[in-house]
Amino acid sequence: MERPLQNRVSPFGEILARPERGEMFGNRGGRIHDPLTQRLSRRRWASKAWICCVLSFKGRARQVMGPGYTELFFLDEATALAAGHRPCFECRRADATAFAAAWARAQGLAAPPRAPAMDDVLHAQRRGARARARAEDLPAGVLFFDEADAVFLKREADVLPWGWDGYGRPRAAPGGEVGVLTPSAVADALAAGFRPRLHPSASG
């Protein structure tokens, strides 16, 4: 069996070799792999523009880990957001526009910010300490982890265990504080009405 490439992104932002492809893909601003060996370099980003894209756009075909940018794959958009990515303004313009509008509402801005302004904020938050909060206080769409580093998706009334191939059965939100994976600016945008694309298993 062919060994999977190291291009699957966890909610913690790690890039690992996993067989599951997921529902979304994106990049971190350029190439961070060697196209001859298809292995990652020591870098984990090429620029501050970390984006989340759809798998298919205008019939374009790409050679994964070829001469262009490094293609990364996510279970879904909630996972990409937790890892510090944002919607792409090319292949997902409507979603990206809605995200910027929610960002503006959350931050009290007079107009939606441009992508570079959001990227500056996200880059700083990706490199900072993770927030802690009560799970019940988090907006729907946020990913968090417990003391055992198990990851969960917050929904309106419950949480779902996260996995590489989908979400588990609903359960009540844990008591006490948890570690918040989703950057605070993104969590604020979720609280202001942005709704990420979720893996089909999240509808159960």
Q: Report how far residue 8's alpha carbon sits from residue 121's, in angstroms, rounded to the nearest whole number.
A: 24
The per-residue pLDDT for 114 is 98
The per-residue pLDDT for 80 is 98
Q: Which H/E stretch holds residue 132?
A: strand 132-134
Whether residue 112 contacts residue 97, with contact meaning beta carbons closer than 8 Å, is answered with: yes
- Looking at the predicted structure, is the pLDDT value of residue 1 above 60? no
- Which residue in the block uniquely carries the two structure tokens 């958009």? 77
Q: How big is the chain, counted in residues?
A: 204
Integer CA distances (angstroms), 12 to 63, 139, 146, 194, in order: 26, 18, 13, 21
Give the pLDDT mean for 169-175.
Answer: 94
Tens digits of residue pLDDT in 20-38: 989 999 999 999 999 999 9
Tens digits of residue pLDDT in 141-154: 999 999 999 999 99
Q: Report how far residue 180's alpha carbon sits from residue 25's, in angstroms, rounded to the nearest whole number.
A: 22
The per-residue pLDDT for 204 is 66
Range picked from 54-63, 169-178, 181-190 for highest mean pLDDT: 181-190
Q: Report how far residue 177's alpha carbon sits from residue 64's, in angstroms, rounded to the nearest whole number.
A: 39
